[in-house]
A and B are shown apart, each in its own frame.
Chain A
Amino acid sequence: AQSVAQPEDQVNVAEGNPLTVKCTYSVSGNPYLFWYVQYPNRGLQFLLKYITGDNLVKGSYGFEAEFNKSQTSFHLKKPSALVSDSALYFCAVAGSNDYKLSFGAGTTVTVRA
């Protein structure tokens, strides 16, 4: 079975400060890891993914994530947060053979001006 944990329900940061959203995973075999963002009353939007290769993955809107196999983590980061980054962020993991996503509970990010 595969699963994802997002230990923080909420993350609050000031605009211009670094933003980190934490994610740890559990999966048999090599993980496929994803981050999605959801704005109010909208569907999920893809941010980035890790399949293989470089542990640091760069994605949309200035976000990046670092795959750490020893810590089974895939934390999302942004060096300088914007108010418009305020949203609900989901980490997800898929097995390598079927792409079925298991989502974390989500982390609400609030960036204050």
Chain B
Amino acid sequence: DARVTQTPRHKVTEMGQEVTMRCQPILGHNTVFWYRQTMMQGLELLAYFRNRAPLDDSGMPKDRFSAEMPDATLATLKIQPSEPRDSAVYFCASGLGSEQFFGPGTRLTVL
């Protein structure tokens, strides 16, 4: 049963620290999405890759967030420096065509 995996599942860090979240998409999927979920804003698209190329990162604060796909089996989302307002659940999703499969998420708490 193919699944999107995300690590870590939980992360607590202090303001100013660097945070890296990792995602392994389902093998063969050519699109990868990063979403952020908060109570106030709901689900927001942060970044979107197709065939490892970044197509849209307009939803991401550029000064502190960066997203990459160093290879087809790994996508990363980095926050540097982190701030308390970054506390949220970050989801990765992968897809082939219209349907997206979501990972379990990384719950980030920035103190």
Mark A residues whose CB is within 8 Å of B. Answer: 32, 34, 36, 42-46, 49, 51, 90, 94, 98-106
Contact B98–A42 (Cβ < 8 Å): no
Give the residue name and chain of the A residue nearest to B44 (CB).
A103
Contact A103–B42 (Cβ < 8 Å): yes
Majority-rule SS of A interface residues: strand
Contact A94–B98 (Cβ < 8 Å): yes
Stretch of B14-22, B62-70, B77-85, B101-109 contacting A (4+ beta carbons < 8 Å): B101-109
A-B contact pairs, 28 of them (CB 8 A): A36-B102, A42-B104, A42-B105, A43-B103, A43-B104, A43-B105, A44-B91, A44-B93, A46-B100, A46-B101, A49-B99, A51-B98, A90-B43, A94-B98, A98-B48, A98-B56, A99-B95, A99-B98, A100-B56, A101-B33, A101-B45, A101-B100, A102-B45, A103-B42, A104-B42, A105-B42, A106-B42, A106-B43
Q: How far is the CA of A105 from the CA of B44 in the complex (A)?
A: 10
User: B111: CB under 8 A from chain A?
Assistant: no
Q: How far is the CA of A110 from the CA of B57 in the complex (A)?
A: 35
Q: How far is the CA of A43 from the CA of B26 in the complex (A)?
A: 15
Q: How far is the CA of A43 from the CA of B23 in the complex (A)?
A: 13
We find that the number of chain B residues with CB closer than 8 angstroms to chain A is 21
User: B24: CB under 8 A from chain A?
Assistant: no
Give the residue name and chain of the B residue nearest to A43 (CB).
B102
Mark B residues whose CB is within 8 Å of A. Answer: 4, 31, 33, 42-43, 45, 48, 55-56, 91, 93, 95, 97-105
Q: How far is the CB of A86 from chain B (nearest CB, A)?
A: 19
User: CB-CB < 8 A to A46: which residues of B?
Assistant: 99-101
Option from B42, B48, B91, B102 in Cβ contact (under 8 Å) with A100: B48
Give the residue name and chain of the A residue nearest to B4 (CB).
A43
